[in-house]
């Protein structure tokens, strides 16, 4: 029974690995400026990666070893996929969002990051208009490049917005 469970979990992690590598290779050429690397989500995935490496060392059967290797590779692929900004739009949470879908944006510098807040306006299933704010973090050294790209691609959409931080 334990071997069957290891095979099922291995197939699940192999599917996640293939899916995340597909997203990585699809979005890789789309991103010019990568977002800040270590967000809370990536730190959580990195700690899960460390635990998967421990289970790799402690594996008893071949099925456990294969499961641990696939789990390590899948978590590595999740960590590898990045948010960022490119010539055609932004990549956020594995999705590409074109510039024409952004209604306005704002940016500011914090102590450790250059922060850009995008506001998206859309309609839900009930035809009600809703707004979503997306906050992306960039390295401070990339701030000027991001600012120039936004001025070039979204020339009249810069507007000061209230921030919570």
pLDDT (tens digit, 9 = 90+) per residue, 69-104?
999 999 999 988 888 999 988 998 888 888 888 888
**Are residues 21 and 73 both part of a single domain?**
yes
d(CA 9, CA 68): 10
**Are residues 15 and 75 both part of a single domain?**
yes
Burial category of 87 from C-beta neighbours within 10 Å (exposed 0-12, middle 13-18, buried 19 and up): exposed
pLDDT of 22: 94
- 40 in a structural domain: yes
- 97 in a structural domain: yes
What is the pLDDT of the chain when averaged over all its residues?
87
C-beta separation of 79 from 49 below 8 A: yes
Confidence of residue 163 (pLDDT cuts 50, 70, 90): low
pTM of the entire structure?
0.78
pLDDT of 58: 85
pLDDT of 38: 66
């Amino acid at each position: 029974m334990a071997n069957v469970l290891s095979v099922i979990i291995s197939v699940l992690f192999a599917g996640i690995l293939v899916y995340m590598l597909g997203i990585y290779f699809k979005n890789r050429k789309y991103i010019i400026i990568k977002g800040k690397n270590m967000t809370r989500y990536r730190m959580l995935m990195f700690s899960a990666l460390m635990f998967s490496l421990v289970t790799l060392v402690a594996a008893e059967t071949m099925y456990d070893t294969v499961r641990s290797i696939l789990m390590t590779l899948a978590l590595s692929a999740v960590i590898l996929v990045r948010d960022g900004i490119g010539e055609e739009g932004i990549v956020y949470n594995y999705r590409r969002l074109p510039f024409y879908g952004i209604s306005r944006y704002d940016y500011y510098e914090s102590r450790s990051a250059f922060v850009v807040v995008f506001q998206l306006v859309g309609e839900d299933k009930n035809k009600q208009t809703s707004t979503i704010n997306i906050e992306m973090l960039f390295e401070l050294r990339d701030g000027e490049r991001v600012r120039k790209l936004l001025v070039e691609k979204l020339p009249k959409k810069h507007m000061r917005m209230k921030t919570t931080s």
